[in-house]
A and B are shown apart, each in its own frame.
Chain A
Amino acid sequence: MFGKRLIEYVIAFMALIILNFVMPRLMPGDPIDAIYGNELVALTPELREQLRAQYLLDQSIWSQFLHYLYSIASGDLGYSYAGKAPVIDIVAGALPWTILLVGTALFGAITIALFLGIESGWRRGERLDRYLFAIFSIINGIPGFFIGMILIIIFALNLKVLPAGGAITHYAGYTGSEYAIDVARHLILPATALCVSELSWIYLLMRGGIISVINEPFIKTGMLKGLDDRTIRYRYAARNALLPVFTRIGIQISQIVAGILIIEAVFTYPGIGYLLHDALLTRDLPLIQGILLIVTISVLAINFTMDILYPRIDPRIRHV
């Protein structure tokens, strides 16, 4: 079964690679223009020749493709002429910040959302549930950037307690704990915005999950066993509602990616998302391709890991 899933992921990956490969070649004019065409980059004839040779544009489409595969395999994602650096280096510089932001926000979002979702679903119809459900239903419709901007307007622009963007205070000479606090200060707003916008749908998912298991007989069994409420809520209801919720989170990883993209752009947070946003604005196509490739690999890897882990977590899947 994993074999089959793996093959699917490989096919999906190949499909994206092919798309990456074909798009510039489908564009009108010279693919070099499509790949590097940018009014701000002066392409000298020599450079153009050099690039043509580099991309084997004078050779058959197949050898071009094989070469393309080879360069990807060897970690060469192309060269950003706007950024004057290999794409892989640029991406590598931004990746840790994204991981920090996404890690904090998603950890927060998932923990809080699951907690609230469980408590709210368990108390379905009670006041707490009604309020939470109403609040998060509304937040669910608000785009993340919107939340971000409002946070900026309140906390950065008016109250001036937190920075409006960036990841660190540049050259403030902080070291050690000062540096950590500085990073944390910069992290608070974007992480909160991302957290809140992801929180809402995970909460709704979790609440729905709890509601769908709350009438299952094993919940009654748990109560009959004289277990305390919390054990039943977490070991019985949540544990069983969680698994489908996690699959859904896996499915909706695209949404998370989009959320990151937007939040990083709003907060000029120097991660992959902002990089992509900038690359889109400057049409730095090698960089766009490279980032998307990295994103694809990450998403596929996460999904595949979840696929592998899932049966280990859920005995129901294992024996179907």
Chain B
Amino acid sequence: MYKPLILRSRGATIGLTLIVLIFLIAAFAPFICWFDPWDYSSTPLQRPSSVHPLGTNAIGQDILSELMYGARTSLTFGLSVSAISLLLSVLIGVYAGISGGIIESILMRITDVAIAIPSIVVIILVAAYLQPNLFQLILILSLLSWQYGARTFYAQTLSLKQRGYISAARNFGAGNGYLTVKHLIPDLYPIMLAGFIIRARYAIFMEAGLAIIGIFDPTTKSLGLLMHHAMEFAYMGTWLWWLLPPGILLALTILGFSLVGYYFEETIDLRHRSMSSGRF
């Protein structure tokens, strides 16, 4: 029986299973939950019961429903940030790599400077002034996390440029646009995929981190915010069913993405990796 390559690695299989499960929870949250997470009609601060498997929060909302919807926001956030920053990385890296000359040096200098800037500082500073909403936060974080990827794609483009088929295509009179679309981008797909996974993990973790220190759109429900609110009551014994579940779900999500990420990192030999696979 045919078995996809990725399922032959145990780690990657576990990772993929986790991601799929969490995706399902997030996608089908409205059908699974028997409470609207915004509905505050229950008694606040209930202990877990058959009606509320994880109890209720401080204003009587069902924590389990919050958790599922929270996973939704967190995933949306992570994947959006990942997609946008990946897009920026690819655009800048490939464009710099293929253009050469002054454009290359300008873009790569900008990238180097961006790498030097501690992004957490910028995020806190901007958030302190703007109290950004979900969409703005996605943009800010994307704008602050493209630089490492840009380096990778730049390096990859440079090495791909040396390949024979690129020279051959140039010989046939292909322009940069053609080369990028027909050769470079498809060649970069595996790295993009790995980058996407790694970045998504980073962004999901970042969401939690930011929400915990109070920098996240408070009108949404996310895993980080759930923990942020839970922390307030953590020492009253509620942490077991209020703080722990989102923590575990977050850890599992990160673990899922990590495992799949490791698989890709190992599979695609990223020898010239300058890509940050880290969380921040």
Contact = CB atoms under 8 A, between A and B. Distances in A.
The answer to whether any beta carbons of A and B sit under 8 Å apart in the complex is yes
A143 B243 CA distance: 12
A138 B243 contact: no
A255 B214 contact: no
Interface stretch (A16-24, A52-60, A79-87): A16-24
B280 A254 contact: yes
B126 interface: yes
Contacts, number: 136
Contact of B125 (A140, A252, A292): A292
Tell me the dominant secondary structure on chain A's binding face: helix
Interface stretch (A91-99, A169-177, A232-240, A295-303): A295-303
B124 A254 contact: no
B208 A143 contact: yes
- Majority DSSP secondary structure for residues of B touching A: helix
Interface string A242-282: 00000010011111011001100100000000001100110
Interface residues of A, number: 53
Contacts of A16: 117, 121-122, 125
A288 B122 contact: no
A127 B114 CA distance: 41
Given A149-B234, A157-B235, A141 B280 contact: no
B102 interface: no
Contacts of B125: 16, 19-20, 23, 288-289, 292
A51 interface: no
B231 to A, nearest CB: 7
A252 B115 CA distance: 10
B271 to A, nearest CB: 9
A12 interface: yes
B113 A11 contact: yes
Contacts of B258: 137, 140-141
Contact of A141 (B116, B214, B255): B255
25 contacts: A11-B116, A16-B125, A137-B255, A141-B205, A141-B253, A143-B205, A143-B247, A143-B250, A146-B227, A152-B235, A153-B235, A157-B235, A251-B276, A252-B280, A254-B118, A277-B213, A283-B128, A288-B128, A292-B121, A292-B124, A295-B121, A296-B117, A296-B118, A300-B116, A300-B118
Interface of A: 8-9, 11-12, 15-16, 19-20, 23-24, 26-27, 34, 137-143, 145-146, 149, 152-153, 157, 201, 208, 248, 251-255, 257-258, 261-262, 265, 276-277, 280-281, 283, 285, 288-289, 292, 295-296, 299-300, 303
Given A140-B258, A141-B205, A300-B118, 19 more contacts: A8-B112, A8-B113, A8-B116, A20-B125, A23-B125, A26-B129, A140-B255, A143-B209, A146-B247, A149-B231, A208-B262, A252-B279, A255-B278, A258-B209, A262-B213, A265-B213, A296-B117, A296-B118, A299-B118
